[in-house]
Structure 1
Amino acid sequence: MSGAGSDAGAALRAGDAAAAALRAVDPAAASGRDTGSVARRDAARGALIGLAVGDALGTTVEFTSPGSFEPVTDIVGGGPFGLEPGEWTDDTSMALCLAESLVETGGFDPLDQMRRYVRWWREGHLSVNGRCFDIGNATRAALSSFERSGDAFSGSEDSQSAGNGSLMRLAPVPMAFHHDPAAALRLAGESSRTTHGAAECVSACRYYAGLMVGAINGATKAELLAPHYSPVAGGLDGLAPGVAEVAGGSFLHREPPVVRGAGYVVRSLEAALWAFARAASFEEGALLAVNLGEDADTIGAVYGQLAGAYYGESGIPERWREVLAMRDVISRLADGLVALAG
């Protein structure tokens, strides 16, 4: 058999194995999903609301070592910033800044995005308590550089700065552009470059945007988690090696402590997909994600974006949605992103 044929056969076998593993956890993983406009709206809104819910759930055990805490079972607040139940951190603040920019400019404007991130940093814009807290080092450095240079793409390209700070806020881009998958993946990468220019960060955002686009448009879980899923041909060309390994299905055969809730973007991506693949509901996966500890709020936020898009807003526990801080703002911006997509 030719090399190309061997590769194709290996991919098919890997896909079959992945589908079987998913069905063992979630028998509905390969079943068809509603793709009508109401379902797409529910899915798109779910991506942003799921992000905020995962953030609020995980903040309780942020910065804790795995196994050093009583497992999280509900949104209870507390954590290193002493938040009230339903309050969230920088993940959601930055996602709301990105969403607000997309909605108010009517398109993708990286300069405007950076100005809004600076407002959050300097003034507490779209913060849950009126002040910036929990900002990452790479984000702070990029915003400082932007203030000096005016360059919207101020994210460091150094792999040592390949944190999860752009992946955590990503949902508004695939929400706004799910009707144009090629644009969604391209702009997802550009959205990372504003603060996180490392190849791993840009690649992770491109791959994860494709998963969200697929989920919003009705792809099954088996389809989404098959090796190298993309909603558009060539969408994963040139992925950084670590992200390509995750896209190939590393999360399907790894378990903690190899799977970790670490801040390195490749590990964060793998952890979120590990939780998504092993759960049969939004709630089950969210608890798996945040109970990894470490960067628990961001692992919850990354998980919540995809799981929210897959299960929809209606699939996120109502008790969690009701307690969300600034719920009206999140809902309004989610509706604006849905309207932008047309």
Structure 2
Amino acid sequence: MRCGFDPYDQLVRYKCWHKNGYMSSTGKCFAIGSSTRQCLNVFEQRQRDFAQGNKISLEDLDSFNKLEILNSFDINCGINDATDNEGLMRRASVPLLFHQDPKKAVEYSGRSAKIIHANQNIYDACRYYGALIVAAIQGMAKTELLDPDFYKKQEDWFGSELLQENVRKITEGSYKRKNGYQDDENTFEEGVLAAVNRGDNTDTRAAIYGQLSSTYYGYKELPSRWVEHVYAVKFITCMDKWIAYQSERCFHSNQ
């Protein structure tokens, strides 16, 4: 397995999910957003063109690993006017894998979203979200994660690309308005229930809260009666350990 960020492989796996239900708890793709669907259609067409132009079998292209050839493949298939929140719903694995290098974790959190959602606001939101997950892994307190000056204090993680103004305003606390913000009472369980029971796009609320808060609270704080009913829990636990192993391996191989 190669170390590093591999957006082509990411798109291949999304395509497998879309076509064959890869890693889906139901065995088939469900609840795919329009932006992701459009992006994958573009990706598949580019694969067909690329295979023909480089005389590569289309069947072999998903597992093709000759980087000197793949580097010329345009992986930016994202939709510029995308406004959905799917990018945030599936970001955690990126900062978890690259957390030992916060700058890379933030950069790749954004780039891994941008290949699907080219909207700059989504890109910046995912970068900031990745930074929060890295900070949670580092053991920062909740007050530090929610600090309106968190971005300023960790600005070096974001490199030369500043956050868009409307995203920055959210990081500074604009979300703390009546009926728009609720404390989790310092437990993962209460936080998830609060997120879901507020209604209105509950899967999104739970996914975004769950990724960050489970990182903050840790596996042992997840309700055991919930964990035992998670689909393929042993496989997911194994994948978690693999991410931790790969994180160490990739970080030290780049030193």
Instruction: Please report the TM-score for the alignment, with normalisation by the length of structure 1.
Output: 0.61
Structure 1 residue 254 corresponds to structure 2 residue 177: yes
SS at match of 1:293: coil
Q: Distance in 2 between matches of 1:128 and 1:242?
A: 35
Query: Which amino acid in structure 2 is aligned with residue 155 of structure 1?
Result: G
The count of residues paired between Structure 1 and Structure 2 equals: 219
Structure 1 residue 290 corresponds to structure 2 residue 196: yes
Q: Distance in 1 between matches of 2:92 and 2:207?
A: 10
Query: Highest relative contact order (Cα 8 Å, sep 6+), 1 or 2?
Result: 1
The verdict on how the C-alpha distance between 1:242 and 1:291 changes in structure 2, with shifts beyond 3 A counting, is farther
The residue number in structure 1 matching 2:226 is: 320
Structure 1 residue 108 corresponds to structure 2 residue 30: no
Runs of 4+ in 1 over 3 A off after TM superposition: 230-237
Q: Distance in 2 between matches of 1:126 and 1:245?
A: 36
C-alpha displacement at 1:163, in angstroms?
1.0
Q: Given the alignment, which residue of 76, 83, 100 partners 1:153?
A: 76
C-alpha displacement at 1:171, in angstroms?
0.3
Q: Distance in 1 between matches of 2:2 and 2:116?
A: 20
Q: Given the alignment, which residue of 122, 131, 135 partners 2:28?
A: 131
Query: Which amino acid in structure 2 is aligned with residue 333 of structure 1?
Result: M
Q: Tell me if structure 1 keeps the 8 A contact 2:102–2:134.
A: yes
SS at match of 1:173: helix
The residue number in structure 1 matching 2:123 is: 202
Instruction: Please report the TM-score for the alignment, with normalisation by the length of structure 2.
Output: 0.81
Structure 1 residue 333 corresponds to structure 2 residue 239: yes
The residue number in structure 2 matching 1:244 is: 168
The residue number in structure 1 matching 2:157 is: 235
The residue number in structure 2 matching 1:306 is: 212
Unaligned runs of 5+ in 1: 1-103, 260-273
Q: Tell me if structure 2 keeps the 8 A contact 1:228–1:244.
A: no
SS at match of 1:286: helix
The residue number in structure 2 matching 1:185 is: 106
SS at match of 2:157: coil
Q: Distance in 2 between matches of 1:171 and 1:220?
A: 19
Q: Distance in 1 between matches of 2:200 and 2:155?
A: 36
C-alpha displacement at 1:328, in angstroms?
1.6
Q: Distance in 2 between matches of 1:330 and 1:105?
A: 21
Equivalent residues in 2 for 1:32-71, closer than 5 Å: none
Q: Distance in 1 between matches of 2:97 and 2:246?
A: 6
Structure 1 residue 215 corresponds to structure 2 residue 136: yes
| Higher mean C-alpha displacement, 221-230 vs 131-140 | 221-230
Structure 1 residues 15-53: Cα deviation after superposition (integer angstroms, max 9, x where no partner) = xxxxxxxxxxxxxxxxxxxxxxxxxxxxxxxxxxxxxxx
| Higher mean C-alpha displacement, 303-312 vs 231-240 | 231-240
Aligned sequence identity (%) = 38
Structure 1 residues 306-336: Cα deviation after superposition (integer angstroms, max 9, x where no partner) = 1001100111111111110011221111111
The residue number in structure 1 matching 2:69 is: none
The residue number in structure 1 matching 2:185 is: 279
Structure 1 residue 168 corresponds to structure 2 residue 89: yes
C-alpha displacement at 1:278, in angstroms?
4.3
Q: Tell me if structure 1 keeps the 8 A contact 2:87–2:113.
A: yes
Structure 1 residues 256-285: Cα deviation after superposition (integer angstroms, max 9, x where no partner) = 2xx2xxxxxxxxxxxxxx34x443110111
Q: Tell me if structure 2 keeps the 8 A contact 1:181–1:232.
A: no
Q: Distance in 2 between matches of 1:234 and 1:179?
A: 14
